[in-house]
Structure 1
Amino acid sequence: MSSAEIAPTESGHRQSSRRFRRAQKVAPFVFLAPAVLLLLVFLLYPLVSSFRLSFVSWNGLGDGGDFVGFQNWVRLAHDTLFWRSALHNILLAVFSVVVQLPIAVVLAVVLDEASKGSRILKILYFLPLLMSSVALGVLFKNIYDPNFGPINGILSELGLYSWTQDWLGDPRLALASVIAVVSWQYIPFYMVLFLAALSSFPREITEAARLDGASGRTIFWRLKLPHLQGTFRTAALLVLIGSMRYFDLIYVMTGGGPENASEVMATYMYRTVFASFELGYGSTIASAMFFIIMAISIVSLRVSQRFETEV
């Protein structure tokens, strides 16, 4: 074969190689394009649109409303009901971390150690998470009913008449009653997270510790709990973010009442938009929720990273 025939072949190979490398660089963007497009349409655009509406006064009808500048934000800064609802979100987050995560860890450890009947127990413990929040809200609204609910009925049968309460109608008890149901619903989710983390814990270490005379309590505190630190931080972050945006179950059970005793930011925003028809101010509340959740997420990540470094 002559050199004149070899030259075009080598040139074609180089062109094919360049096209292949170019295709390799472009391929990730092609596959990511649909997901990015969905995020832009259903996440970024509503977020920017909501922030834009926070600068107008609009009832949601007719044209886009009147531009009022920072008037809605000034109103929000002086809105005691909004800050009270934000405090309720914080209380929900704190009690969710304090109640849900320790119970979830204990259940995960027990189910991880159990051999007989562990599958049945996992299914039973996971059932609350399979129910919709609306169905749970209706169910527990009837359970908490002061006249016909089983809680007061059992207390009356035991002669504890002074313990019977209007659980959802008393401003002192409404928020605590709702937090109890939220915790009961989401404990199985975090239990599954901890179970998944425990499944990666080497069994040889546990067996070796037992041969050395370590008790179950020592194995838990010295070996398994440090192994769960990363999962615990992730679960805590999920609890904090979820508690800041919780809505459906609270709305079904109390609607934010009585006397705004169980009002959270999401229910306050919903009532502002769909009951008072103040779409501009409701968008301001939604934007404030976004900034609060983002700030809490950033702080939580920084704290968890510092803790991880120290440990």
Structure 2
Amino acid sequence: MVVLLAPSILLLGVFLLYPLVGSFRLSLLDWNGLGNGARYAGLANWVHLSHDAVFWQALRNNLLLALFSVVIQLPIALVLAVMLDKAGKGSRVLKLLYFLPLLMSSVAIGVLFKNVYDPNFGPLNVGLRAIGLDRFAQDWLGDPSFSLASTIAVICWQNIPFYMILFLAGLASFPVELSEAARLDGASESTIFWRIKLPHLQGTIRTAMLLAVLGSLRYFDLVFVMTGGGPEHASELMATYMYNKVFSSFQLGYGSTIASAMFLIVALVAAAAMRATQRYSQKV
């Protein structure tokens, strides 16, 4: 058994444990990442992080992204999954169309929506002006009041298909006999969904919520392409802040501190979620 697990353990150590330990080690240094000028700083980076208003703003934005991912993505994905499940074989084309955003590169989506949100020539503002709603036209990515909401909307659009497929898989495992028996007893379609199908999906919904929250806490690519964390850190996430500190400000030690803090936060949230899930499963 040990021999069979050895390759997996080796890969886990090389690609997960070693970088993780290295990141914590770098967080104790004051270093720009170039040359041999690394200086031991102890816990100075961690103390600075605890007073860094931008980091706390980034964490707040990550938590907002997690909240809206659960509140927006999952209900819409569930509705689409139920509709496609009822449509049967005729829904194959619709499934493909709904799934397309997930097949697109995040970079391509970011560039696409940067053009959509363009304040002067973007289709969104042009359309609003064309129907006489000029007052609603905004600098969607350049205004701190709208930049985070605008990026969250695109993130939801991209990721809803993933959860839709997840819920479709859960619905596909639902025994048809239960629905038929309920109909024979006079139950309506809405009663069947709320009283039978939705409880059947509880495990799938908990899994989807966990994936949405953890994914939101470490999100990076689309926000980086669209706003880079700006303007004025309004759409800053922990990952974009870490990237900017390392590759723009050349503060490798402090950037590693942010990365290590991200790991601790995600690990704590994952552990708490798993514990809550296990308790709920035992009660049910």
| TM bracket, shorter-chain basis | over 0.9
Tell me whether 1:207 sits opposite 2:142 in the alignment: no
Q: Which residue of 2 aligns with 1:197?
A: 170
C-alpha deviations, 1:48-97, integer Å up to 9, x for none? 00000100101001126111110000000000100110000000000000
Partner SS for 1:170? coil
Equivalent of 1:143 in 93, 111, 116: 116
Tell me whether 1:177 sits opposite 2:129 in the alignment: no
C-alpha deviations, 1:154-203, integer Å up to 9, x for none? 11111111111111111011000000000111111011111111111000
Question: What runs of 5+ residues in structure 1 fail to find an aligned partner?
Answer: 1-27
Q: Structure 1 stretch 296-305 or stretch 171-180: which is displaced more? A: 296-305
Q: Which residue of 2 aligns with 1:188?
A: 161
Tell me whether 1:229 sits opposite 2:197 in the alignment: no
Q: Over aligned residue pairs, what C-alpha RMSD do you find?
A: 1.0
C-alpha deviations, 1:3-29, integer Å up to 9, x for none? xxxxxxxxxxxxxxxxxxxxxxxxx32
Q: Structure 1 stretch 188-197 or stretch 62-71: which is displaced more? A: 62-71
Partner SS for 2:204? helix
C-alpha distance in structure 2 between counterparts of 1:292 and 1:304, whole Å: 18
Q: Structure 1 residues 190, 64: closer, same or farther in 2, change over 3 A?
A: farther
Q: Which amino acid aligns with 1:35?
A: S
C-alpha distance in structure 1 between counterparts of 2:89 and 2:201, whole Å: 24
C-alpha distance in structure 2 between counterparts of 1:63 and 1:206, whole Å: 69
Q: Which residue of 2 aligns with 1:302?
A: 275
Matched residues, percent identical?
67
Tell me the CA shift for residue 310 of structure 1.
Answer: 3.1
Tell me the CA shift for residue 223 of structure 1.
Answer: 0.6
Tell me the CA shift for residue 116 of structure 1.
Answer: 4.8
Equivalent of 1:168 in 141, 162, 182: 141
C-alpha distance in structure 2 between counterparts of 1:305 and 1:157, whole Å: 53
Tell me whether 1:267 sits opposite 2:235 in the alignment: no
Q: Which residue of 2 aligns with 1:68?
A: 41
C-alpha distance in structure 1 between counterparts of 2:19 and 2:119, whole Å: 42
Q: Which residue of 2 aligns with 1:57?
A: 30
C-alpha distance in structure 1 between counterparts of 2:33 and 2:210, whole Å: 35
Highest Rg: 1 or 2?
1
Q: Which residue of 1 aligns with 2:249?
A: 276
Tell me the CA shift for residue 278 of structure 1.
Answer: 0.4
Q: Which amino acid aligns with 2:141?
A: L
Q: Which residue of 2 aligns with 1:104?
A: 77
C-alpha deviations, 1:240-282, integer Å up to 9, x for none? 1100000000000000011110000000000000000000000
Tell me whether 1:32 sits opposite 2:8 in the alignment: no
Partner SS for 1:294? helix
Question: What runs of 5+ residues in structure 2 fail to find an aligned partner?
Answer: none
Q: Which amino acid aligns with 1:156?
A: R
Partner SS for 2:214? helix
Q: Which residue of 2 aligns with 1:244?
A: 217
Tell me whether 1:286 sits opposite 2:223 in the alignment: no
Q: Which amino acid aligns with 1:264?
A: L
C-alpha distance in structure 2 between counterparts of 1:87 and 1:235, whole Å: 21
Partner SS for 1:33? helix
Q: What's the TM-score, normalizing by structure 1?
A: 0.89
C-alpha distance in structure 2 between counterparts of 1:115 and 1:265, whole Å: 42
